[in-house]
Amino acid sequence: MPAEWEPHEATWISWPQPGSNSFPGSLDRVVPTFVAMVEALAESETVRINVSGAEQEKCVRKLLKSCPPERIEFFPIPTDEPWCRDHGPIFVVREKAPQLAAVNFGFNAWGYKLSPFDEDNAVPPAVAAALQIPLFDFPNFILEGGSIDVNGRGTLLTTESCLLNANRNPSLDRAAIEKKLCDKLGVTTILWLGDGIEGDDTDGHVDDITRFIGPSTVISAIEEDESDPNFEPLKRNLDRLHTMRIADGEPLHVLTLPMPTRMMRGGQRLPASYANFYIANTVVLVPVFGERNDSWAISALHEALPTRRIVPIDCRELIWGLGAFHCLTQQQPAVG
């Protein structure tokens, strides 16, 4: 599994459906964020969009009229929710032709938290068929793309709170899960963090807390307010990172990223995190929230990823769906 910063042929997204669980009564307020995301991505690479059918494709084309048409491709692949990172295929690269392949893991809507999810669970085979690439099918192993992050050199980062949760693979212990990850994704070293952030209904996806941005470099979210419930778990994760080594034995180089101040809706903490950025070929999409730490996060990512243009996009509406740009996207590696 290549690292996210390696060259992409395309980025996949799933356009949100009316009546989805993610944005009840607020889809119209969220669509402008999707448009801004695609416009930024289209500067960088082809954007492949899953839609419910021809009628939705027609509507979305009108919304994206400012994008170069040759950079936008539509696929009639229906979905329940828009979180393509979790329901889409994980692309892998192999030495023999055809080099690109897709892996299909089982999807159960983050431990049966939403229903229905049958269409989401059917996305990877449909994408593989559309691209006419091989599909490695492991439907009995539940895994979402946002729960893992790789450096493309044999090391995978994840969290205990998600992958060891009994609502995913209750019959598998840590050793068995590690073996599955190594066998299916071509990694040799698994690095385990502890808990995720408050309000994250995925049980602690790693893409909200710590991300690889280089073969031996990670950037990790920290909370400075000691009274915030995220302070201790993020501090413990940071302490772990400072003791970790990648597959070749090199220690991790650890950079830090602030957390936004607490965002609430209806008495619920929203999982706002600058760590849910997405690295495309020439740009980095960064969720921002109209608050004081936005500029700090933008500056930190500009220093961490200096060869790409940092594109901050307001996510105050999007985060009501409990995710941001990394959750919405899935990279398709370039091969050949």
327 in active site: yes
Does residue 151 lie within any of the structural domains? Answer: yes
DSSP letters, 310-332, are EEEEE-TTGGGGT--HHHH-EEE
Does residue 201 lie within any of the structural domains? Answer: yes
CA–CA separation, 167 and 176 (whole Å): 16
Q: What is the pLDDT of residues 113-122, one digit of tens each?
A: 999 999 999 9
Does residue 163 lie within any of the structural domains? Answer: yes
CATH code of the domain covering residue 149: 3.75.10.10
Q: How confident is the model at residue 96 (pLDDT cuts 50, 70, 90)?
A: confident
Does residue 167 lie within any of the structural domains? Answer: yes
> What is the pLDDT, as a whole number, of residue 174?
98
* 147, 157 contact by CB (below 8 A): no
What angle (nearest 5°) sits at the alpha carbon of residue 312, between those of residues 33 and 201?
A: 60
Q: Which one from 67, 84, 315, 327 is the annotated catalytic residue?
A: 327
Q: How confident is the model at residue 17 (pLDDT cuts 50, 70, 90)?
A: very high
Does residue 35 lie within any of the structural domains? Answer: yes
Q: What is the pLDDT of residues 252-300, one digit of tens each?
A: 999 999 999 999 998 999 999 999 999 999 999 999 999 999 999 999 9
> What is the pLDDT, as a whole number, of residue 336?
79
* 322, 201 contact by CB (below 8 A): yes
Does residue 2 lie within any of the structural domains? Answer: no
In which domain, by residue range, is 246 found? 8-333
Answer whether the bond into residue 98 is a cis peptide, omega within 30°.
yes
CA–CA separation, 288 and 314 (whole Å): 5
* 221, 206 contact by CB (below 8 A): no
CA–CA separation, 274 and 264 (whole Å): 16
Does residue 209 lie within any of the structural domains? Answer: yes
Query: Edge to edge, what strands does the sheet with 135-142 contain?
Result: 90-93, 100-106, 135-142
Does residue 295 lie within any of the structural domains? Answer: yes
Say which residue the tokens 């609502």 belong to.
167
| Identity at 151, one-letter amino acid code | N
Share of the chain above pLDDT 70, in %: 100
Report the domain count for the chain: 1
